[in-house]
């Protein structure tokens, strides 16, 4: 995690958006608050979204501010404290997880959720050489001897990849607390560990597994989507594969200050919604390999509440709460 | 293979692409010189530009920026003791003393020749063996990485200098302790943060190295007022500052160092969990040992070997890190992760089939490495005398500039004022420790390796259900640990044996 810190510090200057004030402009200017350092995932999401919005003329100009610290908690506290309606903060699934873990005292309820914009489904994958052909094979090994199955992931114990693996196992009718979860600092080394045989299965995002699966290096056992995804049409959903009701999406989205007025909030949401149809967005999206999910306003809040419920139940069962 | 090279050459040698290489090298060198901006940020900055070009030109541009930034990073390590990225820390150990003794031009030239050779030799390995090396990338597991970090730490003996082994070891422990501050990478628990939210993410490498190397060096220079004769000497020295003359004996010394370090660097680079920093430390430690007691004692005081070894190794490792990227689609480092993103942007997915499906991409990446290295050498050699003259700036201007750029460099990455306060605190502590002759290098080594060592050890213990038996049951782990033990124990043992023998012979002579 520390290694991806440096990134595009000068991009602050380089990417200062040039505005084409077209007729369809929704917002004059937006200030993006980024809870992590330059070059990370949050940074890329905020700057990419800002670039698309300004290029397409939906937003007059965009400015960016990196505020790392406290696993994102510093920026959350800052947004609540200043209560500035002109600011949008980028965040993602960890805001739910870290809030439950008590990394910071606030939660998404202390902010105004604007919209979820992009996302990725989670997967369980094994090496192609593995005897495990399906999720039920994996569950059988686990039930036989949990210590014989090391499942790796690119986050800490109790982090997202661990929770996803636990969710799949729990819904398959086993005790998720027995999982032997091996943490790696990012997805890359975790994938290397799977290919080297150090771990028997890997919990990761579809985006990180899809190409290696196409090239025949790994086998995707199941996908945490509600229905099958076209890009990997032969991969069953986890529910189909025997993990009843398993659904999970790792989202990224935006939050505004708690006291933002309804009109400004609506204009932000309108700008983000209109963004999906622009060429500028298509370019940014393809450059980064993002998957669109648009989840705005009330729907987004309901979704967050559901995810919080899902994760807190799991964390309690795993003994992290 | 010849066909492949020809495809690569014909793409890379077009006028347009040569222009991109030149531009990339210059921009990269400049960005790399700024503290805080390393190869990774340089490439990240180039992505929007590269995205508008065709894939071959884009990759060539990024490779050029990459090598330029690596060279630029060495420049700030050598001239002002400010290594902006971890892989150039070892470069400053001998590069900076050499520059301070008035041989800045020579130090920069040696660095340029070494990184050029390291890059070119490693690119040959890549060319010949990349597809078959994929298995090497996967040979190492957490237990082996743990052993490798232990071996890296043993290199600490190389920095000890005369008689201050205990101080070096103490500073290593300080570094290891500092690396445990922040959220632990296994269970996500905050440790030693004193309840401060700013410490939850740990202490950044850049902050620590800028505070203890660049800032403390500038502060020490202020505390060390020069008398007039020294000033006169300095004036004379500044006349020779730009001289790049490397003597024939020095070239003879460098050749074996470069050949060994490029092989070592390349192999370490191929491992996705190791990388250029470990490679540079291992090469430095290895060469210090091989150099023998007389030449070895020069290490840390401006040794040609001590400068050449890490410079060769870090560039060779950077090239080696393309093996897991191109053959497995796995990014082993932050830089290759950004490269992977850029390649995917072009619709190119590196992986085991890239070599077969899109040979033109595969070969133009490799050929562009050569071109990048060659152009870099051609462009930068004439610039060295001018770059070296930075040191001719009177210290009343130079020192504030160093202070300014170090602080700004750190602030521009985190945008957190707490970091500035912490930096000042570390810098003051470092000055105090240096006045008491405690070396800073072992602390940085402990800090860099500490995090990775802990992570790999805990992972190994988790996988083996808490049993330590992997230390002796896994062949590769055991071999590396045995080498580490030999490195640590051999010098005192050899010294003891020679002493014993000498005593025996002197005892024998009266007869």
The residues, ordered by sequence, that sit 6+ positions from A240 with a Cβ below 8 Å of its Cβ are A222, A228
Comparing A300 with B41, which gets the higher pLDDT?
A300
- Tell me which of A123-137, A199-213, B44-58, B310-324 is least confident: B44-58
Chain A interface mutation, best of B197, B199, B202, B204, highest count of A Cβ atoms under 10 Å:
B197
pLDDT > 70? residue B238: no
Given an 8 Å threshold on Cβ–Cβ distance, is A189 in contact with B272? yes
Inter-residue contact A228 to A237 (CB < 8 Å):
yes
pLDDT > 80? residue B36: no
The residues, ordered by sequence, that sit 6+ positions from A266 with a Cβ below 8 Å of its Cβ are none
Average pLDDT over residues A145-172: 94
Given an 8 Å threshold on Cβ–Cβ distance, is A74 in contact with B198? yes
- Which phi and psi angles does A35 have, rounded to 5°? -75, 0
d(Cα A169, Cα A171) in Å, to the nearest integer?
A: 6
Given an 8 Å threshold on Cβ–Cβ distance, is B416 in contact with A68? yes
**Between β-strands A87-92 and A27-34, what pairing exists: parallel, antiparallel or unpaired?**
parallel
pLDDT > 50? residue B284: yes
Nearest to B430 by CA among B81, B32, B35: B81
Tens-place pLDDT, residues A246-297: 999 999 999 999 999 999 999 999 999 999 999 999 988 877 778 888 999 8
pLDDT tier, A167 (very low <50, low <70, confident <90, very high otherwise)? very high
Instruction: Look at residue A16 in the predicted model and tell me its pLDDT.
Output: 36
Given an 8 Å threshold on Cβ–Cβ distance, is A1 in contact with B186? no
Given an 8 Å threshold on Cβ–Cβ distance, is A65 in contact with B415? yes
pLDDT > 90? residue B49: no
Instruction: Look at residue B232 in the predicted model and tell me its pLDDT.
Output: 53
Complex ipTM > 0.90: no
**Residue of chain A minimizing CA distance to B354:** A215
Average pLDDT over residues A107-122: 94
Average pLDDT over residues A7-15: 35
Inter-residue contact B427 to B399 (CB < 8 Å):
no
Q: Is B33 contained in some domain?
A: yes
Q: How many domains does chain B have?
A: 1
Q: Is B127 contained in some domain?
A: yes
Between helix B104-137 and helix B55-80 the angle, nearest 10°, is 130
Given an 8 Å threshold on Cβ–Cβ distance, is B40 in contact with A7? yes
pLDDT > 90? residue B177: yes
* DSSP H or E stretch at residue A219: strand A218-223
Nearest to B157 by CA among B498, B484, B511: B484
Instruction: Look at residue A283 in the predicted model and tell me its pLDDT.
Output: 86
Instruction: Look at residue B228 in the predicted model and tell me its pLDDT.
Output: 53
Instruction: Look at residue B510 in the predicted model and tell me its pLDDT.
Output: 47
For residue B15, give its domain range.
2-504
In eight-state DSSP terms, residue B314 is H
Given an 8 Å threshold on Cβ–Cβ distance, is A6 in contact with B418? no
Q: Is B61 contained in some domain?
A: yes
Q: Is B509 contained in some domain?
A: no
| Distance of residue B191 Cα from the nearest chain A Cα, in angstroms | 12
pLDDT tier, B233 (very low <50, low <70, confident <90, very high otherwise)? low
- Model pTM? 0.84
**Residue ranges of A 261-320 with Cβ closer than 8 A to chain B:** 283, 286-289
Residue B258 tokens read as: 């470069």
Given an 8 Å threshold on Cβ–Cβ distance, is A10 in contact with B349? no
pLDDT tier, B157 (very low <50, low <70, confident <90, very high otherwise)? low
**Residue ranges of A 72-111 with Cβ closer than 8 A to chain B:** 73-74, 77, 101, 103-104
**Highest-confidence segment of A20-29, A82-91, B125-134:** A82-91
- Which phi and psi angles does B160 have, rounded to 5°? -65, -35
Comparing A225 with B137, which gets the higher pLDDT?
A225
**Residue of chain A minimizing CA distance to B455:** A184
Instruction: Look at residue B161 in the predicted model and tell me its pLDDT.
Output: 56
Euclidean distance between the first and the last CA atom of chain A, given in angstroms as a whole number? 24
Average pLDDT over residues B85-91: 88
pLDDT tier, B83 (very low <50, low <70, confident <90, very high otherwise)? confident
Tens-place pLDDT, residues A122-147: 999 999 999 999 999 999 999 999 99
Size of interface A-B (CB pairs under 8 A): 180
d(Cα B300, Cα B181) in Å, to the nearest integer?
A: 29
pLDDT tier, A220 (very low <50, low <70, confident <90, very high otherwise)? very high
Instruction: Look at residue B411 in the predicted model and tell me its pLDDT.
Output: 85
Given an 8 Å threshold on Cβ–Cβ distance, is B45 in contact with A8? yes
pLDDT > 50? residue B397: yes
pLDDT > 50? residue A8: no
**Partners of residue A287 in chain B, C-beta under 8 Å:** 47, 51, 345
Instruction: Look at residue B261 in the predicted model and tell me its pLDDT.
Output: 96
Nearest to B7 by CA among B370, B367, B369, B374: B367
d(Cα B419, Cα B198) in Å, to the nearest integer?
A: 8
Instruction: Look at residue B291 in the predicted model and tell me its pLDDT.
Output: 84
Comparing B322 with A90, which gets the higher pLDDT?
A90
| Closest partner CB to B272 (pick from A157, A192, A283) | A192
Give chain A's domains with CATH numbers: 3-120+250-317 (3.40.190.150), 121-232 (3.40.190.10)
Instruction: Look at residue A3 in the predicted model and tell me its pLDDT.
Output: 34
**Residue ranges of A 4-33 with Cβ closer than 8 A to chain B:** 4-12, 14-15
Given an 8 Å threshold on Cβ–Cβ distance, is B328 in contact with A198? no
Instruction: Look at residue A160 in the predicted model and tell me its pLDDT.
Output: 92
**Residue of chain A minimizing CA distance to B451:** A2
Chain A interface mutation, best of B53, B185, B357, B476, highest count of A Cβ atoms under 10 Å:
B185
Instruction: Look at residue B239 in the predicted model and tell me its pLDDT.
Output: 62
Chain B interface mutation, best of A1, A9, A54, highest count of B Cβ atoms under 10 Å:
A9
Average pLDDT over residues B50-68: 81
Instruction: Look at residue A163 in the predicted model and tell me its pLDDT.
Output: 94
Inter-residue contact A53 to A88 (CB < 8 Å):
no
Comparing A38 with B354, which gets the higher pLDDT?
B354
d(Cα B264, Cα B243) in Å, to the nearest integer?
A: 30
Instruction: Look at residue B503 in the predicted model and tell me its pLDDT.
Output: 77
**Residue ranges of A 135-154 with Cβ closer than 8 A to chain B:** 147, 150
**Partners of residue B185 in chain A, C-beta under 8 Å:** 1, 156, 183, 185
Inter-residue contact B248 to B295 (CB < 8 Å):
no
Residue B14 tokens read as: 């077009």
Chain B interface mutation, best of A36, A188, A190, A206, highest count of B Cβ atoms under 10 Å:
A188
A290: left (phi over 0), alpha (psi -120 to 50) or beta: beta
**Percent share of chain A, pLDDT over 70:** 92
Count other C-beta atoms under 10 Å from residue A306's C-beta.
11
Chain B contact present for A63, CB below 8 A: no
d(Cα B277, Cα B88) in Å, to the nearest integer?
A: 7
Sequential DSSP letters for A298-309: HHHHHHHHHHHH
Residue A110 tokens read as: 């202390």
Given an 8 Å threshold on Cβ–Cβ distance, is A9 in contact with B140? no
Chain B interface mutation, best of A46, A189, A315, highest count of B Cβ atoms under 10 Å:
A189
Per the prediction, chain B carries an average pLDDT of: 84
**Residue of chain B minimizing CA distance to A146:** B465
- Tell me which of A106-110, B25-29, B39-43 is least confident: B39-43
Inter-residue contact A134 to A165 (CB < 8 Å):
no
Q: Using CA atoms in the order A212, A217, A220, A221, what is the torsion angle rounded to 10 degrees?
A: -170
Three state DSSP letters for B138-157: CCCCHHHHHHHHHHHHHHHH
**Residue of chain A minimizing CA distance to B329:** A212
- Using CA atoms, how far residue A50 sits from A12, B299, B404, in Å, is 12, 50, 31
Tens-place pLDDT, residues A226-242: 999 888 899 999 999 99
Instruction: Look at residue B227 in the predicted model and tell me its pLDDT.
Output: 54
Given an 8 Å threshold on Cβ–Cβ distance, is A180 in contact with B462? yes
B42-49, long-range: CB < 8 A, 24+ apart: B42/B66, B42/B68, B42/B69, B43/B69, B43/B335, B43/B338, B43/B339, B43/B342, B44/A7, B44/A8, B44/A11, B44/A39, B44/B338, B45/A8, B45/A10, B45/A11, B45/A14, B47/A287, B47/B338, B47/B341, B47/B342, B47/B345, B48/A14, B48/A15
Distance between alpha carbon B311 and the CA centroid of its chain, in Å? 7
* DSSP H or E stretch at residue B14: none
| Closest partner CB to A9 (pick from B37, B140, B184) | B37
């Amino acid at each position: 995690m520390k290694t991806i810190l440096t990134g595009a510090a000068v991009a602050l200057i380089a990417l200062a958006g040039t505005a084409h004030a077209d007729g369809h402009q929704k917002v004059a200017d937006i200030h993006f608050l980024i809870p992590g350092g330059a070059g990370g995932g949050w940074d890329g999401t905020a700057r990419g979204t800002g670039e698309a919005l300004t290029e397409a003329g939906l937003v007059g100009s965009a400015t960016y501010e990196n505020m790392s610290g406290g696993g994102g908690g510093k920026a959350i506290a800052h947004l609540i404290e200043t209560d500035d309606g002109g600011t949008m903060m980028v965040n993602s699934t960890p805001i739910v997880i870290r809030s439950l873990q008590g990394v910071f005292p606030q939660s998404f309820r202390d902010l105004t959720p604007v919209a979820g914009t992009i996302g990725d489904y989670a997967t369980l994958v094994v090496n192609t050489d593995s005897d495990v052909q399906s999720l039920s094979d994996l569950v059988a090994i686990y039930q036989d001897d949990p210590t014989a199955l090391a499942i790796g992931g690119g986050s800490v114990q109790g982090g997202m990849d661990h929770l996803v693996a636990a969710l799949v196992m729990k819904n398959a009718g086993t005790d998720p607390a027995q999982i032997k979860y091996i943490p790696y600092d990012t997805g890359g080394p975790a994938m290397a560990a799977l290919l080297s045989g150090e771990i028997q299965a890997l919990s990761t995002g579809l985006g990180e597994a899809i190409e290696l699966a196409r090239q025949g290096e790994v086998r995707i056992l199941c996908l945490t989507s509600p229905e099958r995804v076209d890009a990997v049409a032969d991969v069953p959903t986890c529910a189909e594969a025997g993990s009843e009701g398993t659904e999970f999406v790792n989202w990224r989205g935006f939050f505004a200050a708690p006291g933002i007025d309804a009109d400004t909030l609506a204009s932000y949401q309108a700008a983000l919604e209109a963004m999906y149809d622009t060429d500028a967005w298509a370019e940014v999206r393809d450059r980064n390999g993002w998957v669109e999910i648009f989840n705005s306003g009330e729907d987004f809040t309901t979704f967050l509440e559901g995810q919080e419920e899902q994760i807190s139940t799991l964390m309690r069962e795993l003994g992290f709460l | 293979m010849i066909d492949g090279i020809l495809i690569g050459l014909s793409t890379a040698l077009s006028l347009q692409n040569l222009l991109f290489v030149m531009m990339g090298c210059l921009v990269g060198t400049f960005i790399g010189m700024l503290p805080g901006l390393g190869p990774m940020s340089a490439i990240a900055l180039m992505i929007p530009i590269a995205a508008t070009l065709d894939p071959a030109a884009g990759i060539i541009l990024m490779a050029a920026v990459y090598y330029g930034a690596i060279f630029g990073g060495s420049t700030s390590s050598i001239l002002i003791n400010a290594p902006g990225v971890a892989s150039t820390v070892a470069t400053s150990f001998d590069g900076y003393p050499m520059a301070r003794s008035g041989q800045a031009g020579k130090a920069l030239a040696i660095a340029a020749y070494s990184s050029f050779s390291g890059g070119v030799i490693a690119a040959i390995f890549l060319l010949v063996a990349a597809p078959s090396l994929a298995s090497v990338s996967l040979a190492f597991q957490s237990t082996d990485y743990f052993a490798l970090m232990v071996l890296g730490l043993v290199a600490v003996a190389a920095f000890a200098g005369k008689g201050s082994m205990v101080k070096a070891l103490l500073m290593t422990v300080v570094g290891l302790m500092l690396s445990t501050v922040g959220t632990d990478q296994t269970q996500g628990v905050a440790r030693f943060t004193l309840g401060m939210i700013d410490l939850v993410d740990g202490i950044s490498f850049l902050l620590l190295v800028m505070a203890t190397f660049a800032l403390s060096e500038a502060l020490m220079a202020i505390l060390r007022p020069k008398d007039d004769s020294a000033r006169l000497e300095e004036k004379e020295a500044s006349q020779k500052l730009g001289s790049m003359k490397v003597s024939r004996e020095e070239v003879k010394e460098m050749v074996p160092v470069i050949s060994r370090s490029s092989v070592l660097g390349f192999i370490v680079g191929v491992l996705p969990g190791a990388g250029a920093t470990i490679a540079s430390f291992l090469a430095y430690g290895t060469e210090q040992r091989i150099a023998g007691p007389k030449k070895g004692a020069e290490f840390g005081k401006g040794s040609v070997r001590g400068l050449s070894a890490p410079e060769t190794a870090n560039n060779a490792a950077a090239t080696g890190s393309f093996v897991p990227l191109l053959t497995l689609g796995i990014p082993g480092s932050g830089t290759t992760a950004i490269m992977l993103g850029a390649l995917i942007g072009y619709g190119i997915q590196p992986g085991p089939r890239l070599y077969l499906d899109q040979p033109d991409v595969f070969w133009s990446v490799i050929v562009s490495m050569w071109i990048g290295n060659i152009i870099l050498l051609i462009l930068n050699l004439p610039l060295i005398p001018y770059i070296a003259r930075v040191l001719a700036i009177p210290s009343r201007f130079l020192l504030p500039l160093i202070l300014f750029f170090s602080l700004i460099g750190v602030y521009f990455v985190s945008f957190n004022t707490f970091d500035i306060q912490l930096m000042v605190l570390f810098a003051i502590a470092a000055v105090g420790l240096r006045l008491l002759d405690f070396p800073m290098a072992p602390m940085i080594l402990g800090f860099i390796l500490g995090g990775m060592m802990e992570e790999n050890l805990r992972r190994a213990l988790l996988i083996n259900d808490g049993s330590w038996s992997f230390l002796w049951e896994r062949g590769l782990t055991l071999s590396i640990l045995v080498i580490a033990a030999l490195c640590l124990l051999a010098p005192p043992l050899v010294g003891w044996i020679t002493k014993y023998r000498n005593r025996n012979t002197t005892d024998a002579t009266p007869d």
